[in-house]
Every structure is written in C-alpha cells, then in structure tokens.
Structure 1
Amino acid sequence: MSGYNAVLARNTENAPAGIGPYSQTVAFSHYNNLSAQLPIDPKSGKLTAGGVKEQAEQCFKNIKAIVESIDHVMSDIVRITVFVTNIKAVDAVDEVYKTFFPTYVPTRTTVAVAALPMDALVQVEALVSNGEGTIPNAPQSGDLIKLTNNTANAPISALSAQAVSFSHYSNLSAQLPIDPKTGRLVTGGVKEQAAQCLKNIKAILESIDVPFDDIVKTTIFLKDISDMEAVNEVYTTFFPDSAIARAVAYVPARTTVEAAALPMAALVQIEAVVSYGDGTPPQLVEDRHGIIIEANNTENAPKDPLSTQTVAFSHYNHLSAQLPIDPKAGKLVAGGVKEQAEQCLKNIKAIVESVDHALADVVKVNIFLKNIADIDAVDEVYATFFPGGVPARRTVGVSALPEGALIQIDAVVGNEEGTPPIVK
C-alpha cells in the first residue's frame, strides 16, 4: 500500500497476548478492528477464575485496556459481539455489560456457539471508531461524531442501539425475527423469521435514509444450517432491491454459519454492515458525497449467485466467507483441516489480489471451525499467509458449516484508494 492510509497494528501488555498469530487491534482509516477477547488474565496468561460473570468481566476489562492503550474510550465502540457457549448465560453477561456501558450503548450481536478457544464460556469482540484516522503525520477529522439511531419500526433494546454510524459506515445490531409491534417472535417457521429479520433491517435503514442496496455485508446465523435453502428463497426477494442493483445483479458479501442457539430461541438472526456515503459530520463536503460501492468477483475463487466475493466502499473491502472449495473443481478440497484452511486462505488471497491488494492489507480475519481443537493445525497454515501476525482475529467453534466444511474464513481488508465516483 502507499503511505496514504496505513495499516496500524498495536498491542498492549495490559491485555492478553494473542493465543495465535494476531494483533490485539488493527486500525485502518476511521476504524479500529479489535481481536475477540477471551477471559484471560493478562498477568497470568490463564482464564480468570469463576463463572460466566467473572469471565465476561475479564473480557470487557481486556477490551477496555486495549481501547485505552490507543487513546480511546469505551464510548468510542460502535459494535460489540458477544459469543457464549450457553445461551442461558446471556443474562449474566448483560449484568456485566451494563457496568461498562452505563449510558451510551453500541450496536450488538449475541450468539451461542459450539465452542470457544481455551474452553472459555464467553468471548467478546469490539469495533472501535478511529476519528484521527491512519494517515501518517496527517491527522484526519478527529472530531467526527457517532450518530446513533433507533426507530419504533424495528425492535428496540435497552442494551443496544439499532444503528451506529461513524464516518462512511453504519453498523447495525443483529436483527432477530421480532415483530416490533408485539415485541415477540413472528409466528411461522424459518422463512417467516428470515423475512422479519430482513424487514427489521430495512426499517432501520429507511429510518436513517439509507437504501437497502447500500448493505455491503450480511452475516446470517442459523439454528440449523439445513435451513439455508429456505432462507435463501426469502433472501432473493430482498436482494437486489432497486432497479439499479438489479441491472448489475448486486448482492452484498455474505457469511453464513450455524449457531448453537440464538436469543429468544430464534431460528435465524441477521447482521448487516452498511455503506454511509454522506459520512458523519464534520467530514468535508468533498468527502461526503458520491462515493460508490465497488463489487467484484474473480474466476480464481469460488462464486456464489447470492453473494459477491468482495464489496468495497470508501476505505474498506468486505469479503464473503470463503469455504475450502477449489474454484476449478467447484468442490471441497481433499484432505483434513490443514488442507481446507489452506484452500480458504488461497481463495481469500485470490480475491484480495483480484482487486489489486495484498494480504498485508487485511485488517481482520474471522475463523469458524467445526472443531475448536483444530486451531493449532489451522495456525500452522495461517502463519504462512500472515507471517507477521498483523490482522486482528476472531475464532469460534460452530455446530456446522455449509457444504459440511471443517472451516470457513472471512476477512476485512483495507482499501487505501477508497471508492470515489467513476468519471466517464
């Protein structure tokens, strides 16, 4: 990359060192991407003693230490993701959560997964605003403001904002299939629930004057991965949403995984990351209008009609989760988790290179494993692609993955050149 926007990886001794080849936080442009924090005591390097409350508190203490080490505060967090191994533990986590966010609340996703590294009961991840930006020796608009939003047309929670915009992105809380009028799950099966999740997302976007087709990435958490085809039927009725998007067959990048359980015993939950072309004040006028979405697919990685391999907007590229599929054969590669991890990363590398970037531009990696015990084997392969351990990272064990894969990986990549209007 050029010296315009720099990938800035940082670590502090006041939070646990990574248990793999990754950094605690990686800043690029106006966001800090934090690695998911386990309940590890940074002094001992071991899990903190106690139950889920004590573990949740340690996770948040670690996040706070990282945030403060880069001269930020907890209210700069725009999104929190909570992973638990028992959905019934969420109430205990919430008690702790409230003490760290007594007034302002970020957007939030909560999901139960099959397993977490080190047999932890909880793991917490944060995305943090970075008002000063990452232009070396040339601070950007350090007084950029966050815009939080709630509408009565979507479910309201005291523990999370529906949308938090900062700079050129809006991050939405994961939407459950809750009817906002009744506050209860909609009746019916997974199709009806998927439709309600997407309706809620659409209502939130309309409340901030953002079109549905400005979504750049969705993450779908399913209670049963075999419901994916039914969800896809509904999904295609929402995407593409406009004549312009239909003309180019635009669909966002996407990740789909099976959750062990979801809040309120829902069958599906959907999270969205949205482009925000107007930016948040006081960005300069020339930085706030006409920025375009750039979607890209390459023959060198697997294609899916329901997702774009990478969607760039402003200074980020959001990649669809990559399965260990050989793009030539269209099938899972032979072998075990090492071979599958290598293919996932090869696919990511092919996509990144197809948009004239390099793996050194990757700021965040999310790894979903069928067996959490495979992480050491995965790290052997991972270190050959990221020898400096720069990207921030999240690793969770999931109940099942599409195609019966053992591993799935997605990534967020810096886009130094941005996406200005195309001049013909």
Structure 2
Amino acid sequence: MSGYNAVLARNTENAPKCIGQLSQTVAFSHYNNLSAQLPIDSKSGRLVDGGAKEQAEQCFNNIEAILNSIGHVMSDVVRITIFVKNIKDVDVIDEVYKTFFPAYVPTRTVVAVDALPMNALVQIEALVTNGEGTIPNAPQAGDLIKLTNNTANAPTSPLSTQAVAFSHYNNISAQLPIDPKSGRLVAGGVKEQAGQCLKNIKAILERIDVPLDDIVKINIFLKNLSDIEAVNEVYTTFFPDSAIARTAAYVPARTTIAASALPMDALVQIEAVVSHGDGTPPQAVEDRHGLIVEANNTDNAPKSPLYSQTVAFSHYNHISAQLPVDPKSGRVVAGGVKEQAGQCLKNIKATVESIDHVMGDVVKVNIFLKNIADIDAVDEVYATFFPGGVPARRTVGVSALPENALVQIDAVVSNAEGTPPKA
C-alpha cells in the first residue's frame, strides 16, 4: 500500500455521533467527504431548541468542529449543500451562512426536500479540501491552492462561487434556470428551464476553458419528478457534447432527485462535478496534465443510455444513483424497503466490483427515501454491506423516486490507482 492513498475515516466527540453506520468525515487523496450534519447538540444528542436559524447555526458549528478536529478550517470548504424542509427558511439560514463564510464563499446547492432525519428543519453537508493527501505517513502537497472562478455569462451570487477547483476537480454551484442578463427565471416550462440550467453550466465551463464532456457527475433536482422525460429531451442535446464523446457514447454519471421546492420557485436545478486535469498549483506539470476520464458499465447492474454507471477521474469514481432494479429483468424487485435497499446496494457493489474495487473503497453514500421513517429498516441492510461504518453519508426524504421506488442510493468511491494519462 506504500505510495498509495488510503481511505481515512475520522470522528470527533465535539460533533454529534452519526446516526447509523457512518463516519463524520472520510478523507481520500485531496478531499474530505463530510457526512451531512443535522442540528444536533453533541453533548445532549438532541436537536437544538429554536427554529431554522438556530438549527442552521448548529449544523455549521458541527461542521466547524469536525474540520477543527482534522486540522482544517471553514475556508477549506469547496462545496456546501443545504437541505431545508421549508424553502422559505432559506433567508434566515443565509444570515447564519454569512457569519461562517464572511469573505470566501464556496460553491453551493440549496434544495427543499420532503423530510429530514429526526424531523429537522435543515441539514447541511460539506466537501472539504485535503491538501496533505492520504498516503500513510507521507504528506503530499499541503500547499495546493483553491482556484475560484466566476463569469458574467452565468448567474452570479454573493453567497456562492460559480466554480471552485482544487487538485483534480472543479465543483460547480447548482445552476437555476436564470438568464444572467436579466437575473430572472427564463420564460417557458421545464424544457426551457432545463436548457437554461445547462447553458449556465456550459458558460461557467467555457470561462475555465473546459468542455461539457469533462463533467463526471450531474445531479438534477426536479420540482415534479414527472418532468424527467421532458428534461431528458433537453439533456440529450447537451450530452454527449463533442465528436469524441459521441463516438465513445460518453455520458456522465447521474442522479435525479425530487425536490419539494427550489429557490425562486424554479422547476429544475442542476449541479455538476467536473474533472480538472490541470490540477491546481503547485502540482508538478508531469503530475497534472493528460489524465483521462474513464467511464464503465457492467451487465450486472442496470444500464441506461442517459448515464454511465461509473465515471472515474484521478482518484475518485462517481457512481450513478441506483434504483432497486434487477438488472436481469429490468424491473423493481419484489418486497418492501429492505429488499429494495438491498438491491440498490447490490447494484452498487456489482458496479464497484466491475472496476476491480470493493465496498471498502466507498467514501460517501447518498440515500434518498420515499419515507424517511424507513431509515431504520434500510440501516439493517446497509450494515451488512458496510459493517465498519466507514463511508460518510447523507440521508434525505423525497416525495417521489423514479420507477415509484422506495429508495435510491448513489456513491462516491476511492480510486487509489488514479486514471492514466493520455497515450
């Protein structure tokens, strides 16, 4: 294992003990993946008193405590994702947000969902830099810098940066269907709105001289899940983007999530994770240029022409959201949430094993539940796949899932061997 990054899971008593089989933070290579934080007081183990403002402050306090425990600070955050029960609470949450990010602001996603664990009003997660890397006893490049970028050709906000690059990834703020010239939602329905979201992402990437085909993961948040077919019509006009990608039939990994509400009462919001072969300074040129995106699919998990099952770049693999679909029949498995959760995780395992990895390489898991009360049943199954409780995790309740499923799960997986440079 010498010379290779290792999965590094850590916990601190200064933040709440995580509910279920998970770790507060899991580092791999140049990123720390934090579990979504609920507004729990670490001493009492209970939700704090008050409303959304007090709950948001506790979530951020928990994130800060975790970062302090691993020698990091809030300005090391590259992406913040805020889940709220009521979209109207965002204004008071933003008041708190500004106190934790008074100058530098990370990329950001805000979405209202149907339910959160413990009936919380807010849940917040963070993706954080890890310049020291995770090669055991061998710090890598602790002086790597973040690169922030904004363009007037996409909507700007004082609360978020459009793109933040660190090491070999660019993280893009979730894009609403806003016309950057008017600052308003575009006219029309979900097709027009989806097109504007993707145009905004494309404009951001053009600003940093990156094509759409460098996107490795897309997350689509929909007000009405029934709009997915209309969104897919637009989506396929953007992906694949280049002749090379069309020849290879490359499409990013993808997750589609039902939102109970979106900012500005939008119908759709889209975020992207983008490869960054250049790396960020001061990485040596020979360690930076020419890395390739590797997409893989296996017959042992469900396939779709709209996404790749897994997309690897540098030291991470990104797994598309898995529904409880039997790959042989193409149908949702019989049974309840336990059987469905088991099938989702079997599909992830099959995908991971198809690229010569194991479940112990998973660093982050995202669980979407039709009924948040099913979390205990899902945890019973989950523990059989992750007995050590290593991955960081997010759990949210959603109003609907594709195929009328009860559960959907996606994952981020370590990739110690990295991806090879271009020949």
Q: Which TM-score band applies after superposition, normalised by the shorter structure?
A: over 0.9
Distance in 1 separating the partners of 2:387 and 2:2: 20
Question: 1:420 offset after TM fit, Å?
Answer: 1.4
Distance in 1 separating the partners of 2:142 and 2:166: 12
Give the corresponding residue for 1:282: 282
CA-to-aligned-CA distance 1:251-281 (integer Å, 9 cap, x gap): 0000001100000000000000000000000
Give the corresponding residue for 2:299: 299
Distance in 2 separating the partners of 1:142 and 1:210: 25
- Kept in 2, the 8 Å contact 1:8–1:26? The answer is yes
Give the corresponding residue for 2:44: 44
Distance in 1 separating the partners of 2:333 and 2:157: 43
Give the corresponding residue for 1:195: 195
- Kept in 1, the 8 Å contact 2:150–2:156? The answer is yes
- Kept in 2, the 8 Å contact 1:36–1:123? The answer is yes
Question: 1:138 offset after TM fit, Å?
Answer: 1.0
Distance in 2 separating the partners of 1:312 and 1:390: 21
- Kept in 1, the 8 Å contact 2:250–2:308? The answer is yes
Give the corresponding residue for 1:401: 401
Unaligned runs of 5+ in 2: none
Give the corresponding residue for 1:321: 321
Secondary structure, counterpart of 2:111 in structure 1? strand
The one-letter amino acid of 2:415's match is: N
CA-to-aligned-CA distance 1:18-69 (integer Å, 9 cap, x gap): 1110000000000000000000000000000110000000000000000110
The one-letter amino acid of 2:176's match is: L
Give the corresponding residue for 2:78: 78
- Kept in 1, the 8 Å contact 2:2–2:136? The answer is no
* 1:20-419 correspondence to structure 2 within 5 Å: 20-419=20-419
Distance in 1 separating the partners of 2:204 and 2:3: 37
Distance in 2 separating the partners of 1:352 and 1:316: 12
Distance in 2 separating the partners of 1:421 and 1:206: 23
- Kept in 2, the 8 Å contact 1:59–1:123? The answer is yes
Question: 1:422 offset after TM fit, Å?
Answer: 5.1
The one-letter amino acid of 2:118's match is: M
Determine whether 1:9 maps to 2:32: no
Secondary structure, counterpart of 2:110 in structure 1? strand
Distance in 2 separating the partners of 1:19 and 1:217: 27
The one-letter amino acid of 2:242's match is: S
Distance in 2 separating the partners of 1:243 and 1:168: 24
Secondary structure, counterpart of 1:283 in structure 2? coil
Identity of aligned residues (%): 83
**Cα distance change, pair 263–116 in 1 and its aligned pair in 2 (3 A):** same
Which 4+ runs in 1 deviate beyond 3 A? none
Question: 1:3 offset after TM fit, Å?
Answer: 6.0
- Kept in 2, the 8 Å contact 1:82–1:110? The answer is yes
Distance in 2 separating the partners of 1:163 and 1:359: 30
CA-to-aligned-CA distance 1:325-346 (integer Å, 9 cap, x gap): 0000000000000000000000
The one-letter amino acid of 1:90's match is: V
TM-score by length of 2: 0.99
Question: 1:2 offset after TM fit, Å?
Answer: 6.8
Question: 1:137 offset after TM fit, Å?
Answer: 1.1
The one-letter amino acid of 2:368's match is: F
Distance in 2 separating the partners of 1:405 and 1:153: 38
Distance in 2 separating the partners of 1:130 and 1:421: 23
Question: 1:410 offset after TM fit, Å?
Answer: 0.2
Distance in 1 separating the partners of 2:121 and 2:212: 36
The one-letter amino acid of 2:25's match is: T
Distance in 2 separating the partners of 1:99 and 1:421: 42
- Kept in 1, the 8 Å contact 2:2–2:135? The answer is no
